[in-house]
Amino acid sequence: MCSGRVDLRFVLRAFLKGMDGVFIGGCHLNECNYITHGNFDALNMVLLCKKIMERIGLNPERLRIEFMSGGEGHLFAEVVNSFGKKVKEVGPLGQSEGLDKKTLQFRLEAVNQLVPYLKLVESQRMKASTKSEEAYRSFFSSEEVDRIFDELVGDKLAISQILLLLREQPQSTGAISKQLGMTPSEVSKYIKSSSRQGLVRYDMDSKCYSI
């Protein structure tokens, strides 16, 4: 199977099921067997996913992609062993990052809810144009991508987390602020945005917001 078929949702599902690390192996770049250069798509997805992992408090070293041919079994073994050692050093998922199981699942599910939107952002605004690994890595470490990420992904992720909380039960701005570690003004901004889109409403009796 082409590494380009590895979807962002696959990676998130692995972490949601408690995997401590995810490894993706692909053909050498610019040596695509299908002439689709899907391995560059996989690289792009991994670099985006690493930024998302950092945003939700997960160590991005839990995710790794490497490129090799089917005849490089020795290299595959070396890389997998190296990755296994790195994951052991990093430690159990969430626990090493200081996240309890509930918080970890909550944050991963908030990202999972955004996958269709994230794919759209990736295809239109967060994809390098030059076919080289150096260009892709340079692109994702640029200030421009950081700005785009904050603008198009950061706010959506915050709103996704708020909506997940409100699906459980109605909440006040203060309660949401405390649970998500946001300031009340930040929560109010996201609530107003969600309200304009018809996603949330304010209940006068309980003085809380709900779906």
Q: Would you place residue 128 in the very low, low, confident or very high pLDDT band (cuts 50, 70, 90)?
A: confident
In this prediction, residue 108 carries a pLDDT of 97
User: CB of 155 within 8 A of CB of 190?
Assistant: yes
What predicted TM-score, i.e. pTM, was given to this entire model? 0.90
* Rounded Cα gap, residues 204 and 11, in angstroms: 41
Rounded average pLDDT over 40-63? 96
Percent of the chain with pLDDT over 90: 85
Q: Would you place residue 107 in the very low, low, confident or very high pLDDT band (cuts 50, 70, 90)?
A: very high
In this prediction, residue 183 carries a pLDDT of 93
Domain ranges of the chain: 3-168
* Rounded Cα gap, residues 40 and 36, in angstroms: 9
In this prediction, residue 166 carries a pLDDT of 95
User: CB of 62 within 8 A of CB of 153?
Assistant: no
* Rounded Cα gap, residues 171 and 75, in angstroms: 52
User: CB of 139 within 8 A of CB of 145?
Assistant: yes
Phi, psi for 75 (deg, rounded to 5): -70, -40
Helical (H) or strand (E) element with 186: helix 184-196
